[in-house]
A and B are shown apart, each in its own frame.
Chain A
Amino acid sequence: QGKFTLLRDTRTDGSFLVHHFLSFYLRAGCKVCFVALVQSFSHYNIVAQKLGVNLTAAKERGQLVFLEGLKSCLDLLFGEEEEQSGQPSPLQFISESASNLKALFDFVRTSLTPAGSDSWKGPVLLVDDLSVLLSLGATPVAVLDFIHYCRVAVCSQLKGNIVVLVHSNEDSEDEENELVVNSLCHHSDLILWVEGLATGFCKDVHGQIKIIRRVSLELTAEQDHVQIYQYKIQDKNVTFFARGLSAAVL
């Protein structure tokens, strides 16, 4: 409860983790607010079906609040003026000069605050992915503020969890992104770091995942626990194995 998990990918695509967490939390009966900035709803839906979860049904019964970033952005830019009555668009910062993600935060908070009749277990905020906000004009400070506000609201007040995906690169020249990623790393309770293999492309091992449990944050003088596994992605699931013990090798 109240945990902040950071999904980080380097030189590869870590979105399979996003799909996993989405179906995991929905199956566990949690109320999920999914800020999906990168892909369309149907993409997530199709993959979730392979993983055994129906997103449309989850939306209908109120368990899933889905913000489809691409669609919201189009509505914001091409929408007629009359449609803007009611709540402001969560992605309002794109058209305004102030780089302020408050509207997005308000959206998250309203979606996850439990209504009287809700019977879901803890709220969960899932973001795919945070690096896109920088591409859309938000400053790194605005993004970090947004995450901070979300942590206060979701983790502390509502005792929920947050899972966020970011991209990073080792010799990246994108300083703003690296700033956000490094800052988030310091504040996360759990980091799942997905990387491509150091030796290059391999058909049977798609990459390695480093699981870092930030025990050091608990001030018990312990170091962070780090575990490293390798993985291979298949059509409907992902297999993890110890380094060097891929099925192709054994």
Chain B
Amino acid sequence: KGDSTPVHILVIVFLILTLSKKCNYKPTGGVTILPPIKPDNGPQAFPDAEKENMPVFTMNYSRIQIPFEITLWVLLASFAKIGFHVYKKITVWVPESCLLITIGLIVGGIMHSVHEEPPAVLRSNVFFLYMLPPIVLDSAYFMPTRPFFENIGTVLWFAVVGTLWNSIGIGMSLYAICQIEAFGVQDINLQENLLFATIISAVDPVAVLSVFEDVSVNEQLYIVVFGECLFNDAVTVVLYNMFNFVAEMPVVEPVDVFLGVARFFVVGFGGMGFGILFGFTAAFTTRFTSRVREIEPLFIFMYSYLAYLVAELFSISSIMAIVTCALTMKYYVEENVSQRSCTTIRHVVKMLGSIAETLIFFFLGVVTITTDHEWNWGYILFTLLFAFVWRGLGVLVLTQIINPFRTIPFNFKDQFGLAYGGLRGAISFALVFTLPDSIGRKQLFVTATIAVILFTVFLQGISIRPLIEFINVRRTNRNLDTINVEIHCRIMDHTIAGIEDLCGQWSHFYWKDKFMKFNNQILRKILIRDNRAESSIVALYKKLELQNAMEILDDVSGDIKNVSFSFHFLAPDLKNMHDILSKNMYKIRQRTVAYTTKHALPNESQSKEILIRRHASIRRSLRPGSFQSSVVPKSHKYFSLPAGKSLDSKFPPGMTSYAGELRFSFPC
């Protein structure tokens, strides 16, 4: 059925890769080479030169080797990705990260058996400079900003204090374990233990997001885990450097601890500062790009990458820099650039992030097999245990402290999700490889890190979905026997979503209000080209209407939506009705899933339809004499106006407002 085709392609591509390594020799014998070109200073004599014929076919592998191999690896990983989605059922239960690691393990196994070295992707700068930025940019660009800022206190609390708690807790416990003679790890001192603990306590955004995307957790939980992943980088960097430095020093003084704290602030706020700086510069630049629309998307990428690199230059938290840059930039840039550039930016950000993530997991699997391992049952098992236990304890304690300050406190289900969703991933992996070789037990640390990563990604990743569903079981069973229940339940869901949006933001209202004033008066004037103070709904509506109009123009056959029925509905068959309703009823606004589906762009067609419908109904009701007509257009009926005043109610200037309802009578 064509299912085996991706597998065939995989095998072929993979064979090319292994064989290409073998081709890395200077061709001799049967292949002609081009004669070396010498500068022509005069008649050169080749005393031994034979007369060579014009080479018809040559091969120069070494010249293209690096880009070629990169392309092939990327293709291999992408084919793996295609292959997974052939079997829908697999991706439902097993997150993609696990599948990619598995394929990586297989490929690594094959490479190991032919004694090949995989490319040094995760060992060196390549990971931190080329593979990590696209992923972080992708996460930051599509982050839902409003819930993020509402929860920023909690996020920072978990990121900073949580990571500290985990690192120190795990480090101390492991040191205690090291004292036990039976495990044979007595040579690891406290600093090294703490260093290792820092590495494995870093929750990884890549792993977490790829698992959470299918699990519909509530928005608060999602945003806290997400934010925590992104922001614990600051703490990890500081602790890592501090313990690294300290591990080589014989004595630790209180001054060093104080300096460590100072360094944390420098790292954290420095990262944010650079991010904001570059974000505003990007926004300012796009103000002037109205004549060079083709290169507009470039600025987003260049500025955010620049922020990342400059932060790396000063050894401050580059992840925070790029996250803050993306957050700041997005709002202003999307107003300045053209519609097409906006779409392009989103697409490319998603694409780069997707590819980088795929490659990372893939190489995680490959490198697992091909590194030298040192296994120590006691140390590794206790590492796993402590990682789990300390995270759980940490979440419990920290939630207790911060719950009184939260509008929506975390209940136990949320805390479970928070604790269980702390997956470790590639960042820990890369960090452990950059450990200095002066640490005697580096191989043990590498093995332990890999064990923790694989354990969390596989076990927790696969089991989190059924566990969350199990916990969320409602008290009453879903009784979908009647159409009534289906319709009315959807109505109620929409109502609740609407009321929640209406109640809107809660905390930090004062600061948000101040910021919005500052924003409107100063920032927007500087950073946005065409600054009209319009309300957000009008702006949003205009943007969507414009997009819709462009799509209709592009669409050759015009409004084809009405033509695409696949079945003609005759008898009121109950099952048919359920099918129709479940496929066609609008979904509740999912604030998290829409933004976080790793493998799709946010889908705006539902909003478009609703907005256009409202606009049409308002427009139609404003037409003179429309209240008299009882003929409604056959294809679409837009009835969204409630009862109220009649048409002669007042119309406030400048804003479309309610008019009366269109009353009509059906022949019963």
* A complexed with B: no
Give B contacts to A, CB under 8 Å.
none
Give A contacts to B, CB under 8 Å.
none
